[in-house]
Amino acid sequence: MEFLIGNPFSTPVGQRIERATGGSLQSEDWGLNMEICDIINETDEGPRDAVKAIKKRIVGNKNFREIMFALTVLETCVKNCGHRFHVLVASQEFVEGVLVRSILPKNNPPTILHDRVLSLIQVQSLRCSHIVLKGVLVFQV
């Protein structure tokens, strides 16, 4: 099992995110998505582990179906999880390094993916309303 160390899909929430974003799914598994939210809200490591797994599923993935499922999981979590999760996904590192990166022209994303990412960034901005003061990100709850 040592080979699994560092694999974002080896954690309890990571395993569920891997299942919820599999390219062979016919449609979203809303029960599984809500189970992911429960783990994020109820465990100390849930938010961090979930963000790592979502990032792994999106960054560098050429399977746009899997990316779309990952974006659905992310949106579900933004709408149903607390401050600890919001802080991580509202970070410049996540927004630029994961979301914006996925729609760069070099990746040739389909229009639907491009539009979904931009919409999700707006949802995150509204849900995680924040103020930047002298380089410090302060969240309002």
| CATH (domain of 81) | 1.25.40.90
Query: Residue-wise over 46-83: b if at least 16 C-beta within 10 A, else e?
Result: bbbbbbbbbbbbbeebeebebbbbbbbbbbbbbeebee
- How far is the C-alpha of 33 from the C-alpha of 112, rounded, in Å? 21
Q: How far is CA 116 from CA 52, 53, 105, 129, in A?
A: 20, 19, 15, 19
**Token output for 121:** 């960034």
**How many degrees, rounded to 5, is the angle at CA 32 between CA 104 and CA 1?**
80
Q: What is the residue-averaged pLDDT of the chain? A: 87
Instruction: Say which residue the tokens 């016919």 belong to.
Output: 26
Q: How many domains are there within the chain? A: 1
Domain that holds residue 75: 12-127
Encode pLDDT of 33-75 as tens digits.
999 999 999 999 999 999 999 999 999 999 999 999 999 999 9
Q: What is the pLDDT of residue 138?
A: 42
In a domain, 7, yes or no: no
In a domain, 3, yes or no: no
pLDDT confidence bin for 129, thresholds 50/70/90: low
The conformation of residue 4, written as its DSSP 8-state character, comes to G
